[in-house]
Amino acid sequence: MSERITLALPSRGVLAGPTIDFLRDCGLAVHKPNPRQYTGSVRTLPGVDVLFQRVKDVVAKVEAGTVELGIAGYDLVRELESDDLLTINDQLGYGHCQLQLAVPTTWVDVQGMADLVDVAQDFRQYRHRNMRVATNFNHLARQFLHAHGLHHYSLVRAEGAIEAAPTLGYADCVIDLSQTGTTLRENHLRPLPDGTLLKSQATLIGNRGRLQALGQGPRKLLRTLLELTDAALQGRERYLLSANLAGADPERLARQIMDNPVTRGLEGPTLAPTWNDAGQRGYAVTLVISADQLLPAVEYLRSIGGRQASARPLRHVFLEESPSWLRLQRLLDDSPQS
Amino acid sequence: MTAQFLDRDRPVSLLRDHMAGYGYQLLETPVVGDASLFLTRAGDRMISRLFTFGRGGRELALRPEFTSQAARHYVRGNFCGVQRWQFAGQVFEESPQGASRACQKFSFGAELFGLKGPAADAEIMALALTSLQELDLSNWRLVVGHIGLMRQMLAQFALDERTERFLINNLRNLRQHGTDHVLQLFEARLAGATESTSLTPLLSAETVDETALAQLLRTSLHGTAMGGRDHRDIARRMLRKRQRMSERDQVARAMELLHRLCQLSLPADLAFAALTEITPEEARPILHDWQENLALLGSYGLSPERIVIQPDLARDRDYYSGMVFEIHGADGRHLGGGGRYDELLVFMGAPEPVPAVGFACWLESLDAARSATPAVKSWSILLDGNNSFAATRLAQLLRSGGLPAELGNVLQADSLVTDADGGVRWRGQVFSLDEPTRLLEALRRV
């Protein structure tokens, strides 16, 4: 039975820095004694070891059961697709990108996947070969192409920049990751509107067998880790809003606040009595609200007698239960080994 | 599929001998092959159920059927003239319930290459049906359609070849959801409008030709990435899209005809009378051949009352080009089917179409349909501790006489009991081990 948990993290690439920042914001700062070392630790959670790997190897190591946990892009997780690989949280909120099918901008006759299916038939009819698709995501590409009725193609594994393959002439179109679309545009490629294979971001993954075998101690560590990451993610999306409201009837104020979904908060407001210089009774209200509803909430509070309001971002919001912990338990319960 | 005890040897051996009697030679094909082979002209349903996996950069698949492998063997082996091949083995389709679960079936069938005409079609149909009879399944129903006739009837609308194939592939949709639905699919998949660009006015001009448009594209498109297409490819396709959009009315009329065909699911004599009325003159020879094909089944002793014509029957493979058929059991169970696929061999590299017709059935479906057939009885011989020699000798006598036998230590109602004097007691009668003929005859009568 394993007594420690190893968390594999990307050592380089676009996810490496943001992952360290994310864990720090969760209260799980990673200590790496030497930049050239491949191991580290989490001081707030002794018992958690950190292993730095190339992002592809992170997924491979978790899948193989060499480590218990890892953080990698959702695209790589889906590409590997294995029963042993559990997706604990696929929305860590950074490293966003899309896996897209893109064709040369010169293909003005191709507006969507239906056109591409027709073009693939043209390749067979007039050029006596399959359409060539450059990608490093063979599994996802096959699934996607077949699902769109495109059955005759050849996948080309591109060395170096995939986007250059159609220009260099060794592929006809590409399936590749794109963050902003700039690289595609610069290579005279255009993503098809219905050509998005998946939207990806950083994802926390685990190995089914290793997590099932955890002893009581490491299991507690794991729960803490998930609690902290969930709380940080919840906090990211919320503000603590305080406002002074005029009015003498706290129940009426509470009802008005509760009646509006924008100000209902997590479980309703906290009200505390206040007195102003003129000796008038009022109430201070404290709410936890969605970040994108801050201004509508302030407007509404003003409309029901709000005078001053202050807001500050939250670092952690703990819900009744950690969603990731619940999800993981469900995934492990579904397991044939459990 | 879970493990189970099955006797495949007996039916397979029966079928092999039966088909050999028609001149069919056994062809063995690999279970794993390049997925692209099985994808050649397979229909969408088939493709979605192909069990594929990647190895070393290749996309491989478990064979879902034998026809593609046989067709490629004919082309690559430089065979010519008439070839008759039979096959038997496991085929695999991904179960729709689970993406990673293989669904395994035991398939047998035959392919006849190099022979065209009603006699060849009838031979394959008859071989399929008499094979079922060899396996004691005589309660079948034959549903027959004709892709070739349907194509010839559609020819009057002068549709683009892909539009025609689209319509044939969407017959099920047409039957279930009507013409408007299929027309919408047609517009979405084949005739969608090209994005409005500076070329739009030119495209709307009737006079523009491929060369002029390609020239214009060459001067107006500045991207360097072309993939493997040139401006002429793009121009040709733009014009074809325009052509398809202008064919909307013909497509609608073609669908009306197909809709009428869908209604003609009738016994052979009634269906042919109705078909004659709507078949244009140029398609009459096909209709005539088809009638002859079905009439020939009578020569094989097959009853015409069990044949239903369904002119729009289009099987799940895209490669059929002529007569197609399905065999159903008394309970409606799909037991197998086949058809003519002359064009498939061109996609395997043949310089021109090769006459080809074949069928396949699945043993599991036959087993399920033949529920009325009694299981082979195995005679139980009592082993009581003192009669080992006599019991063993009796068991061997029965087996050598073609009767299955097993030794058991529990007396059953029908057990055979030996005694030390070489006697055998069964159902109140006594037989002698030294003169087993009377006993064997009595058991065989049961």
| Contact residues on chain A for B42, CB-CB shorter than 8 A | 151
Give the dihedral sign, CA B28/B34/B37/B43. positive
CB-nearest to B54 from A111, A138, A171 is: A138
Q: Do B227 and A108 touch (CB under 8 A)?
A: no
Domain map of chain B by residue range? 9-159+260-369, 170-251, 379-445
| Contact residues on chain A for B238, CB-CB shorter than 8 A | 108-109
What is the average pLDDT score of chain A?
90
- Return d(Cα A124, Cα A109) in angstroms, integer: 18
Q: Of the candidates B42, B113, B24, B107, which has an alpha carbon nearest to the alpha carbon of residue B77? A: B113
ipTM score for this prediction: 0.78
Q: What is the mean pLDDT of residues B20-35?
A: 94
Q: What is the mean pLDDT of residues A201-220?
A: 94
- Tell me which H or E stretch contains A231: helix A216-236
Alpha-helix residue ranges (DSSP H) falling in A93-168: 113-126, 138-147, 165-168
- Within its chain, how far is the Cα of A221 from the centroid? 22
The reply to whether B161 touches chain A by the CB within 8 Å rule is: no
- Return d(Cα B242, Cα B373) in angstroms, integer: 60
DSSP code, position A162: G
What residues 149-208 of chain A have any CB closer than 8 A to a CB of chain B?
149, 151-152, 155, 157, 166-167, 169, 171-173, 187-189
User: Å from A215 to nearest chain B CA?
Assistant: 32
More confident residue, A224 or B246: A224
Amino acid sitting at position B350: A
Residue B54's pLDDT band, with cuts at 50, 70 and 90, is confident
- Return d(Cα A153, Cα B401) in angstroms, integer: 59
- Within its chain, how far is the Cα of B152 from the centroid? 23
Query: Which pLDDT score is estimated for B224?
Result: 67
Q: Do A111 and B188 touch (CB under 8 A)?
A: no
Query: Which pLDDT score is estimated for B202?
Result: 60
CB pairs under 8 A between A and B: 97
Residues near B281 by Cβ (< 8 Å), separated by ≥ 6? Answer: none
Which residue of B lies nearest to A165 if distances are taken between CA atoms? Answer: B227
User: Å from A336 to nearest chain B CA?
Assistant: 15
Q: Encode pLDDT of B140-159 as tens digits.
A: 889 999 999 999 999 999 88
Tell me the fold of B9-159+260-369: BirA Bifunctional Protein; domain 2 (3.30.930)
Q: What is the mean pLDDT of residues B157-182?
A: 85
Q: Encode pLDDT of A69-123 as tens digits.
A: 999 999 999 998 888 999 999 999 999 999 999 999 999 889 899 999 999 989 9
Q: In the predicted model, is pLDDT for residue A338 greater than 50?
A: no
Helices (H) then strands (E): counts for chain B: 19, 17
The reply to whether B44 touches chain A by the CB within 8 Å rule is: yes
Q: Do B36 and A152 touch (CB under 8 A)?
A: yes
CB-based burial of residue B435 (10 Å sphere; 0-12 exposed, 13-18 middle, 19+ buried)?
exposed
Q: Of the candidates A329, A324, A330, A326, which has an alpha carbon nearest to the alpha carbon of residue A233? A: A324
CB-nearest to A126 from B40, B227, B233 is: B233
| Contact residues on chain A for B228, CB-CB shorter than 8 A | 123, 127, 129, 131-132, 169, 172
Residue A55's pLDDT band, with cuts at 50, 70 and 90, is very high
Instruction: Enumerate the β-bridge partners of residue B68.
Output: none
Q: Encode pLDDT of A140-184 as tens digits.
A: 998 899 888 888 788 888 767 899 999 888 899 999 999 988 999
Domains of chain A: 5-96+201-235 (3.40.190.10), 97-196 (3.40.190.10), 238-313 (3.30.70.120)
The reply to whether B229 touches chain A by the CB within 8 Å rule is: yes
Beta strands in A266-305 (DSSP E): 270-275, 281-290
Beta-strand pair A5-10/A48-53? parallel
Which pair of structure tokens corresponds to residue B239? 């014009």
Residues near A251 by Cβ (< 8 Å), separated by ≥ 6? Answer: none
The reply to whether B237 touches chain A by the CB within 8 Å rule is: yes
DSSP code, position B195: P
